[in-house]
Structure 1
Amino acid sequence: MSNVAVSTDAVLPETTVIRSWKTPVALAVFSVLFAVLIFAAPRGGETTFRLSTAQDALALPDLVVPVGATVVVCLVLLALLTALSTYFVRSAGRSPLWLVVLFVVVAIVGFLTWAASGAALPVPGLLSGALTLAVPLIYGALAGVIGERAGVVNIAIEGQLLAGAFTAAIIGTITGQPLLGMVGAMVAGALVAFVLAAFAIKYIVDQVIVGVVLNVLVTGLTSFLYSQVLQPNAATLNTPPRLERLPIPLLSDIPVIGPVLFRQTILVYLMYVIVFVVWFAMFRTRWGLRLRAVGEHPKAADTVGIKVNATRFWNVLLAGAIAGLGGTVFTIGNGIAFNKEMTAGAGFIALAAVIFGQWDPIKATLAALLFGFASSLQNSLSVIGSPVPSEFMLMLPYLVTIFVVAGVVGKSRAPAADGVPYVKS
């Protein structure tokens, strides 16, 4: 028998690195815009950042910074982060998330220093407002992540939020129990999701069209009922109670973050839990594996015995219940009566957070917090009399949405079967 020599120097195929230059280009553009802002409209003096409130057990002194030097330092840091992003893309193909987060933080500090020159900016109030405005976006984003991971595009988040707000207001008013209002809101959101799932999964209607129609339907129905039923009977049907704030001992006394994170309502604390549970379950449990399987490769999932359409159906209902719970923020969460179209497009911003977060619960939550911060910043700068035009401040949350989705996201891929109905052959 002859020996056959086998070469160990086989040529292995080279790994192709796909580079996306969207992130460094976007960071460069916004660095230039920041430079134009501070040099075209220079401001002097000092900016005061108030780090504590009157209720804090441990009060921190105000942070006073010179405007000119601070904005220049921030500009230099933005340029360095842009260069670092370019390096990462060239070597590894993408920019890490921490770099984008750090860029956003530096840009915010620089902009606040410039915009609040000569004034005092309450940092805990700004952050607390950002969290409050972000809560419904986070609930909506989690609903979007669950639905799209299962392969169903949930355009109807806006309708689910609105249905939740409407139902919570009525049940909370009638019973005087905000917790029952929260349960009713979850049922209302699930019912809207049931219609979406029935038409999209059972009858294979285009998912985007069904979602848009549901948004219009819920908006029209709640507006009609508001005008014909709630307004004439506001005292008995549309005076919802407000969820009480429940400070957590010790944690609520931590400077800066204590009042923001740990002097909240049960709705916010529940949000913390749901974010963690959804992330853990999605990537660490059998449920999550099945959920991602039917969204990525439903045929393969069906082959191993997973009931694709049933899995999608029940997860869309779960997503709707979560979105409905988020709608309670608009009414019983703040003790505000229901009004027409009071969600004001929050569901669509939540969808943007899903894309920005690359269909990941934690990243989508961070994106929603960014959008909430943009809205809170608009309110805070208006109060302190910032020179930024009011028209620009009204556009700010939506400009941030466009910025992160179009520029910072980088290369992002939705689940392979997202929006594709599954018909068993």
Structure 2
Amino acid sequence: MSAATPVRASTDAVLPETVIIRSWKAPIALAVFAVLFAILLLAAPRQDETTFRLSSGSDVVQLPDLVTPVMATAWTCVVLGVLLAAASAYFVRAFGRSPLWIVIVYLVVLVVGFLTWAASGGTVPVTGLLAGSLGLAVPLIYGALCGVIGERAGVVNIAIEGQLLAGAFTAAVVATLTQQPILGLIAAAFAGVLVAAVLAAFAIKYLVDQVIIGVVLNVLVAGLTSFLFSQVLQPNAATLNTPPRFDRIPIPLLSDIPVLGPVLFRQTIIVYLMYLAVVLVWVGMFKTRWGLRLRAVGEHPQAADTVGIKVNATRFWNVLLAGAIAGIGGTVFTIGNGIAFNKEMTAGAGFIALAAVIFGQWDPIKATLAALLFGFASNLQNTLSVIGSPVPSEFMLMLPYLVTIFVVAGVVGKSRAPAADGVAYIKG
């Protein structure tokens, strides 16, 4: 009987295959909007030229106007849009997702093409368009940062609108009484904290539904400020509601950069604080222990509790911090522009900021970009109206919402809120 041949057991580990989940939303949306723009060009061709004014009279460096043939430029942008959609499809097929830079470049290309077509025969003041867009986006960015911090901590902040409005009201009154806009800004931050404290107390301590308390706070602040405006500010406008404005502070050298210099670096202290806030929130959220604790109580509060993090205290203080940021954002509506307070003057900016939080996937940088996009779309509507574009006014009013649909349809992809967002934590 022959000896059995020994069989050596294989020790090679069987590794699971990596599963790539692909989302084709981005390339499909990019292709669809490129095709829609092409259909628009076929349906309404224009043979004029469009002039882009790159410098204003006060710029140190004067750039010549850029004159572009409408149809040639627009069709070039269509072709580039199709190529970018194809590049997006390649990245999705190869790596499972489309990179953000493709979407940003696509938006720039499509905006240039649309502007060239819509302003046919006119002149587009590029610096004014960008500066106005930034101005409209600043309160949205402050509100979005407020929403990101609150929701990363696990508290849904529907009350951003109320915090912006409280900041605008308080800044106007305090700055008028003291004639010091910086004191108005500090007072606005405290007003935002006060609204946030009510939200935090009811949502965290008394476990009231966070959406309901947010809506109630918005209605309460709107009603209270409207009442005080009618009964107190209007009869005493000269002494209580004529706020001074922050002066613009040009930054040497940077403010002389063509096109972007006047837009970014000839601003008020509110805008410079916004730049700082975006950087600090992003660095703090993803690079510091504070950010780790913040994200922990929003994702898995039970696990955070087991390692000694005080979940509800962390949530409470971060909601207050977020309220201070939103309160400062409210100053844009009054002392930021030297405008008297008026009823409900925030006009839904808090809800747009909340949308930017979701569009930005609860990331400070992405939420800022979403707010800038909406600000640009709103100001584009105003700019085209001023230069006398032949585009129907009804279409102009649709622009911000078309941009919103574009973002929802293809830019953000799949969004996932923090796991414990809106869920009250009961210890034990």
Normalised TM-score (structure 2): 0.97
**Map of 1:159 onto structure 2:** 162
User: Structure 1 counterpart of 2:171, which letter?
Assistant: A
User: Structure 1 counterpart of 2:302, which letter?
Assistant: K
**Map of 1:253 onto structure 2:** 256
Residue 407 (structure 1) shift: 3.1
Select the residue among 264, 283, 287 that pairs with 2:286.
283
**Map of 2:311 onto structure 1:** 308
Within 2, Cα distance between the matches of 1:66 and 1:173? Answer: 50
Select the residue among 206, 223, 245 that pairs with 2:226.
223
Query: Tell me, which stretches of 5 or more residues in structure 1 are unaligned?
Result: none
Note closer, same or farther for the CA distance 1:34–1:232 as it changes in structure 2 (3 Å cut): same
Within 2, Cα distance between the matches of 1:5 and 1:160? Answer: 71
Please say if residues 67 and 113 of structure 1, whose CA atoms lie closer than 8 Å, have aligned partners that are also in contact.
Answer: yes
**Map of 2:185 onto structure 1:** 182
Please say if residues 52 and 61 of structure 1, whose CA atoms lie closer than 8 Å, have aligned partners that are also in contact.
Answer: yes
**Map of 2:131 onto structure 1:** 128
Q: Does structure 1 residue 266 correspond to structure 2 residue 269?
A: yes
Select the residue among 373, 393, 409 that pairs with 1:390.
393
Map 1:252-401 onto structure 2 (within 5 A): 252-401=255-404
Say what the alpha-carbon RMSD is for the aligned residues.
Answer: 1.3
Within 2, Cα distance between the matches of 1:196 and 1:29? Answer: 42
User: Structure 2 counterpart of 1:329, which letter?
Assistant: V
Within 1, Cα distance between the matches of 2:150 and 2:393? Answer: 37
**Map of 1:63 onto structure 2:** 66
**Map of 2:105 onto structure 1:** 102
**Map of 1:214 onto structure 2:** 217
Select the residue among 31, 38, 41 that pairs with 1:38.
41
Residue 319 (structure 1) shift: 0.3
**Map of 2:3 onto structure 1:** none
Please say if residues 192 and 320 of structure 1, whose CA atoms lie closer than 8 Å, have aligned partners that are also in contact.
Answer: yes
Please say if residues 169 and 332 of structure 1, whose CA atoms lie closer than 8 Å, have aligned partners that are also in contact.
Answer: yes
Residue 91 (structure 1) shift: 2.1
Identity score, percent: 80
Residue 101 (structure 1) shift: 0.7
Secondary structure of 1:57's partner? coil
User: Structure 1 counterpart of 2:157, which letter?
Assistant: N
**Map of 1:93 onto structure 2:** 96
User: Structure 1 counterpart of 2:26, which letter?
Assistant: T
Within 2, Cα distance between the matches of 1:4 and 1:419? Answer: 58
**Map of 1:148 onto structure 2:** 151
Residue 248 (structure 1) shift: 0.8
User: Structure 2 counterpart of 1:259, which letter?
Assistant: P
Q: Does structure 1 residue 47 correspond to structure 2 residue 50?
A: yes
Residue 28 (structure 1) shift: 2.1
Within 1, Cα distance between the matches of 2:195 and 2:245? Answer: 25
Residue 5 (structure 1) shift: 4.8
Q: Does structure 1 residue 173 correspond to structure 2 residue 176?
A: yes
Q: Does structure 1 residue 405 correspond to structure 2 residue 386?
A: no
Please say if residues 349 and 401 of structure 1, whose CA atoms lie closer than 8 Å, have aligned partners that are also in contact.
Answer: no
**Map of 2:23 onto structure 1:** 20
Secondary structure of 1:76's partner? helix
| 1:237-276 per-position Cα deviation (integer Å, ceiling 9, x unaligned) | 1111011001111111111011001100011111111111
Residue 183 (structure 1) shift: 0.5
| 1:38-96 per-position Cα deviation (integer Å, ceiling 9, x unaligned) | 11011112111111111111101111111111000000111111112122222222111
Residue 9 (structure 1) shift: 3.0
Please say if residues 81 and 103 of structure 1, whose CA atoms lie closer than 8 Å, have aligned partners that are also in contact.
Answer: yes
Normalised TM-score (structure 1): 0.97
Residue 396 (structure 1) shift: 1.7
**Map of 2:236 onto structure 1:** 233
Computing the radius of gyration over CA atoms, which structure comes out larger, 1 or 2? 2
| 1:139-198 per-position Cα deviation (integer Å, ceiling 9, x unaligned) | 000001100110111111011001100110100111101000001110111111111111
Residue 4 (structure 1) shift: 9.5
Secondary structure of 2:35's partner? helix
Note closer, same or farther for the CA distance 1:263–1:4 as it changes in structure 2 (3 Å cut): farther
Secondary structure of 1:64's partner? strand
79-88 vs 311-320, which deviates more?
79-88
| 1:199-257 per-position Cα deviation (integer Å, ceiling 9, x unaligned) | 11111111111111111111111111111111111111111101100111111111101
Query: Tell me, which stretches of 5 or more residues in structure 2 are unaligned?
Result: 1-5
User: Structure 1 counterpart of 2:314, which letter?
Assistant: T
Within 1, Cα distance between the matches of 2:237 and 2:385? Answer: 32
Residue 360 (structure 1) shift: 0.9
**Map of 2:122 onto structure 1:** 119
Q: How many residues align?
A: 423
User: Structure 2 counterpart of 1:346, which letter?
Assistant: A
Within 2, Cα distance between the matches of 1:168 and 1:395? Answer: 32
146-155 vs 401-410, which deviates more?
401-410
